[in-house]
Amino acid sequence: MPAGYTEISPPNGEYDLYDCGSVVLDHVYIRGFIYLGTNCSGTVTIKNSIIAPPAGTNQRSILNNSNGGLTLNIMDTTIRPEPVPFGGTNAALTDHATNGCAPNCYINMNRVDVANSGGMCLCGENTIIENSWLHDNYIAHLADPSEAHTGGVFPYGGSGPVTIRNNRLEPGFNAGTGQPVNNYWQAITAVLFTQGTGGTVLRNYVAEGNFISLGAFDVGVENGEGLVFRNNVFGPNHWGETTTCSTSCGVTYADWSGNVKGDINGVKTSVVVPHP
């Protein structure tokens, strides 16, 4: 236990917040996942904390089930589910660390270290992710890594706005060895991936100043209007820097500029990543 933290081991591994109002979790070490209930509205701030769901957890690290009116701020915090041996179970290992909720919800992540997770955020509206690090996608417990369907930031069905700025998004990077996670690409379609559902169109999407690396693709674009990708460094991958759907999906870009290739450490080159 790090000095200065209060340890919380909630019953059944679930730390519940229901009628939230104004909640601040500061310097806590939670050995479980956080559940934000349907009536959780107001502002929930998680800062200077560690979220570590243990073996047997059946949800993502921060499960946001609010019906609306919620601002979730996560800052200066580590989200790191506990690994399990081959054949073990911990759903937080292969799910996004958190998620968006109803349209009147806001997600702000700043200086967040996410590891052993299936992605940073399943967020498609009112989301800002800045100065954060996603790494060490954990799939060692799976017989078939392709069943995990992990990623990075995935605005599935969202309409925006989404801002992703000045992050290191390298889910397939093993920070301990400085090398790729074994078979990382089998579990990660793309680090940044856009996909609509039910006729939704993603707008006001900005990805700028990021290092994007070690997915099967770095970026996969299947939905969006007026998307902005600028001044990003694209690192190693399995299939390529970008992938997109056919012209029939109607993706458009407001800006694709300053995007270049880089090495596994994020050192950029002058090689331009072409428009998808």
Q: What is the pLDDT of residue 187?
A: 94
Please check whether residue 189 is in contact with residue 217, taking contact to mean a CB–CB distance below 8 angstroms: yes
Query: Rounded to an integer, what distance in angstroms lies between the CA atom of residue 159 and that of residue 70?
Result: 17
pLDDT score of 103: 76
pLDDT value at residue 112: 99
Q: Residue 121, Cα to own-chain centre: how many angstroms?
A: 3
- Cα separation, 60 vs 39, in Å, equals 19
Q: Contact, 161 vs 205, CB < 8 A?
A: yes
Average pLDDT, 10 consecutive residues per value, the chain (276 residues) = 91 94 97 97 98 98 96 99 97 97 91 98 96 97 91 91 98 98 94 89 97 97 96 98 82 97 98 95
Answering whether pTM is above 0.75, one says yes
Tell the burial category of 17 from Cβ atoms under 10 Å away from its Cβ (0-12, 13-18, 19+).
Answer: buried
* Cβ proximity of 179 and 168 under 8 Å: no
CB-based contact 6:28 (threshold 8 Å): yes
State the DSSP code for 275: P
Residue that is written with structure tokens 């890594």 in the block: 145
Q: What is the pLDDT of residues 14-26, one digit of tens each?
A: 999 998 999 999 9
Distance CA 172, CA 264 (A): 10
CA distances from 123 to 34, 75, 159 (A): 17, 16, 10
154 vs 42, 96, 149, 265, 275, CA distance in Å? 24, 9, 11, 23, 20
pLDDT confidence of residue 247: 65
Q: What is the dihedral of CA 191, 195, 201, 204, to 10 degrees?
A: 0
Domain ranges for the chain, please list them. Answer: 26-272
Q: Is 68 helix (H, G, I), strand (E, B) or coil?
A: coil
Which DSSP state fits 150? B
